[in-house]
Amino acid sequence: MTHDPYDADRPLLMHCACGQHASAADHAAAELRTRAQSAEFEAESASFVEATLVKALFPQDALRRRFLRAVGRNTAMAAIGSVLPLASLQAMAQDKGPLEKKDLKIGFIPITCATPLIMAKPLGFYEKQGLNVEVVKTAGWALIRDKMINKEYDATHFLSPMPLAISLGLGAPATPMNVATIQNTNGQAITLSVKHKDKRDPAMWKGFKFAVPFEYSMHNFLLRYYVAEAGLDPDRDIQIRVVPPPEMVANLRAGNIDGFLGPDPFNQRAVYEEAGFIHLLTKDLWNGHPCCAFGTSTEFIQKNPNTFIALYRAVLTAAAMAREAKNRELISKVIAPQAYLNQPETVIAQVLTGKFADGLGNVKVVPDRADFDPMPWQSMAVWMLTQMKRWGYLKGDVNYKQVAEKVFLLTDARKHMKALGMAVPDDKAGGYPKFKVMGKEFDPAKADAYVNSFAIKRA
């Protein structure tokens, strides 16, 4: 309890401990702003932004090194800069071009996945880029989608499969969208009602009702994958309902659902309210999986390139700070208030620090329970597309590679290397690293074979 009028051992403070700020959240924001202004962090964040962009262009380090050895640092920077909407990558990392639009609205759902996008507001990262950003708490993902299509929002917090679905016209008019960065990796869980503590085997879940936040979500795809591996058909043996994340715990407590695969902090909130327990973290299904993304429409990027770069820089700077474990407790204080997540600080801190109660009497220590790696790998997009195909959301033949590169990356390194007269190696893995989901390797070069390998599917 922050303010306890009946605690004789603590002063009754209606402000922060130092007395200079209106609240503990304001005090934490001030401390993080001070850290962000240090020469050490400024150099680190500029390097982080530039490294992220170069990594996007050269997903395989061997290509990057070969390119640099062939043309040299200065020529490489000029060449890469010529295909991006600014003078150079250094300009993207540090310099500021004239902004086409300064007043922006960015949508977000109140979950910890949106941490970089949210914290950039109270920490002044948008303002530092010359932007006047209003971060708008939004009720659900369908509303986020509609407001982006209708241009009511300039950019938004997306579920990472959403830009793929919107671009393909799944569930909404086809509108080209781009993923600028992944907002978070991991950070989700399967939470079950406390009445099911004796049903830890998913094969026992026949007839269960589950909630996910949206059809085109990693939550839906991971839940389907998990129960199908246990031999259940997610369309016939269980029910999957779309429920906005802030309503999941109440539905669990009321018995309307048996569990949910949802975003934090609501898994931890269910434990906090003794309504549920954490069955497993989704990192145990696929460690490093993407969940949410920061993105905008292709049209916005084309019309407002410098504004987009400024937004990109602000959000990546926040991601650089969020990735550091030493900042996580302070960040929990900053994003806890009503304007943002509206959650008890202790709930958010358990998620971000990875030291948490699981609702089964254990205290777990999982430092990478949630992370904020911004790299939008193309193979992640291909996996999402395979699951859309597997479960019947996506019909007919799919050019996985074409869709992934159109939505998840802004440019193509190979094309620009060829323009420089360089021999481009036949590097089929570039941008498409393999990974494992529940122990099964995913090779993005064999996407259709992957879909066909599953016994339970709609395709």
> What pLDDT score does 78 carry?
67
> What pLDDT score does 26 carry?
73
Global pTM exceeds 0.85:
no
> What pLDDT score does 433 carry?
80
> What pLDDT score does 180 carry?
78
Could you tell me which residues come within 8 angstroms of residue 220 by beta carbon, excluding any fewer than 6 positions away?
A: 212, 214, 240, 261
Measured over the CA atoms of residue 374, residue 378, residue 379 and residue 385, the dihedral's sign is positive
Tokens of 180: 């600028």
Closest CA to 116 of 344, 312, 350: 312
The single-letter code of the amino acid at 321 is: M
> What pLDDT score does 88 carry?
36
Bridge partner residues of 157 (DSSP): 294
Q: Give Dmax (Cα) for the chain.
A: 76
Tokens of 454: 């599953």
> What pLDDT score does 5 carry?
52
What is the rounded distance in angstroms from the CA atom of residue 313 to the CA atom of residue 238? 43
Give the SS3 label for residue 14.
coil
> What pLDDT score does 61 carry?
65
What is the rounded distance in angstroms from the CA atom of residue 123 to the CA atom of residue 36? 8
Which segments within 282-432 are labelled E, that is strand? Answer: 292-297, 355-357, 363-365, 370-371
Q: Which helix (H) or strand (E) holds 246?
A: none
Tokens of 317: 């700077």
> What pLDDT score does 34 carry?
74
> What pLDDT score does 415 carry?
43
What is the rounded distance in angstroms from the CA atom of residue 219 to the CA atom of residue 204? 20
> What pLDDT score does 291 carry?
93
Residues of the chain with pLDDT under 50: 1-3, 8, 10-14, 84-94, 410-427
> What pLDDT score does 90 carry?
40
The single-letter code of the amino acid at 245 is: P
Closest CA to 160 of 214, 119, 112, 204: 214
Instruction: Please check whether residue 60 is in contact with residue 417, taking contact to mean a CB–CB distance below 8 angstroms.
Output: no
Closest CA to 337 of 103, 126, 22: 22
Sheet of 155-159: strands edge to edge?
132-137, 103-108, 155-159, 292-297, 177-182
Alpha helix (H) residue ranges in 398-441: 400-408, 413-419
